[in-house]
Amino acid sequence: PMSSPETPPVTNVTDKYAFAFDIDGVLIRGGRPIPEAIEAMKVLNGKNAYGIKVPYIFVTNGGGKTEQERCIQLSKQLEIEVSPGQFICGHTPMREMASKYQTVLVVGGEGEKCRQVAEGYGFKDVVTPGDIIKDNPDTTPFRKLTADEMSNSRVRNFAEVKIEAIFVFADSRDWAGDQQIILDLLMSKGGYLGSRSETFNEGPPVFFSHNDVIWSASHDLTRLGMGALRLSLEAMYKAVTGMDLNTTAFGKPQMGTFQFATRLLKQWRRDTHGIDAPPETVYFVGDTPESDIRGTNDFNKESENTWYSILVRTGVFQEGTKPKFAPKATVDNALDAVLHGMELET
Cα torsion for 147, 181, 236, 189, to the nearest 10°? Answer: 170
- Of residues 284 through 323, those in contact with ligand G3P by CB under 6 A are 288
Q: Is 204 in the site for ligand G3P (CB under 6 A)?
A: no
- Using the minimum distance from each CB to ligand G3P, give the nearer residue, 22 or 149: 22
Cα(221)–Cα(223) distance, rounded to whole angstroms? 7
**Cβ neighbours, 10 Å, residue 198:** 7
Q: Which of 37, 60, 77, 262 binds ligand G3P (CB under 6 A)?
A: 60
Q: Is 325 in the site for ligand G3P (CB under 6 A)?
A: no
Residue 327 in contact with Mg ion, rule: CB under 5 A: no
Q: Is 149 in the site for Mg ion (CB under 5 A)?
A: no
Type of residue at 51: G
Q: Name the residue number minimizing CB distance to Mg ion.
A: 25
92 touching ligand G3P, by CB under 6 A = no
d(CA 180, CA 187): 11
Out of 18, 20, 23, 88, name the contact with ligand G3P by CB under 6 A. 23
- Report how far residue 15's alpha carbon sits from residue 265's, in angstroms, rounded to the nearest whole number: 12
Q: Which stretch binds ligand G3P (CB under 6 A): 30-38, 96-104, 209-217, 253-261?
A: 209-217
Please choose, from the candidates 270, 262, 278, 277, the residue with its C-alpha nearest in 3D space to the C-alpha of residue 1: 270
**Which partner in Mg ion, ligand G3P, none is near 165 (CB below 5 to 8 A by kind)?**
none
In the complex with ligand G3P, the residue whose CB is nearer, 113 or 210, is 210
62 binds Mg ion (CB under 5 A): no
User: Minimum distance from CB of 291 to Mg ion (Å)?
Assistant: 7
Angle at 314 between CA 309 and CA 317, to 5 degrees: 65
Q: Does 25 bind Mg ion (CB under 5 A)?
A: yes
Q: Rounded CA gap, 213 and 16, in Å?
A: 35
> Applying CB under 6 A, which part among 58-66, 129-137, 229-237, 327-335 lies near ligand G3P?
58-66
Q: How do 28-29 and 17-21 pair as beta strands?
A: unpaired
The contacts found for 81-85 with CB under 8 angstroms, 24 or more apart, are 82/58, 83/272, 85/264, 85/267, 85/268, 85/271, 85/272
Q: Is 78 in the site for ligand G3P (CB under 6 A)?
A: no
Q: Residues interacting with ligand G3P, by CB under 6 A?
A: 22-25, 60-62, 171, 210, 212, 215, 225, 288
